[in-house]
Structure 1
Amino acid sequence: MDDEKPILEQTTDAISSAADATKEAAKTVVKKVKKAAKKVAKKVMPKKAKKAKKAAKKSSAKKSTKKAVKKAGKKATKKVAKKKKKAKKSKR
């Protein structure tokens, strides 16, 4: 340890460097675990499950478009109603 630096500063530097090292180590471990999990999932997941996933995505996409159309219609009617109210107020 340096004699020029105060002890408190030296200890905080040491602790922060240790914390950074553990943080980096944890990140690398997490990356490795995720990679391994993906490999296992690919091997375990049968083709039928993949097809089911694709079908689910397609149906959800269809539903979302239907919802968007409904919402757009509702918003348009609300806008028209607001415009009518504003027009009546402006006439007063």
Structure 2
Amino acid sequence: MQVLARYIDSTSRSSEIRQTDERTDGRTDRRTDRQTDRQTDRQTDRQTDRHTDRQTDRQTDRQTDRQTDRQTDRQTDRQTDRQTDRQTDRQTDRQRDRQTDRQTDRLFIPDLYTLYIV
């Protein structure tokens, strides 16, 4: 009888140990799953953040480039307009001066003829 009692007692202890191991394994599995989930979430968050940062950087770069291009275009246009205006003004002034000179020459030339003829 004692042998049977010892056998039952050892079997019962083995069963308890097995159940304890299974519970411990289950807790360990759940803990590992939570750690893996947190790690995966952090990696996903970092990847998403980097992707968002790159998109934002590209958008900002394109916007800055467009603004710079527009500013440069306006500045170039203003410079070109001023140069063209100055050139046109100089040409107009020269033409006016030549026209005035020709008119003045016409006015005085007959008087010169008259002086020489006399």
Alignment TM-score, normalising by the size of structure 2:
0.38
Structure with greater helix share of residues: 2
Bigger radius of gyration among the two: 2
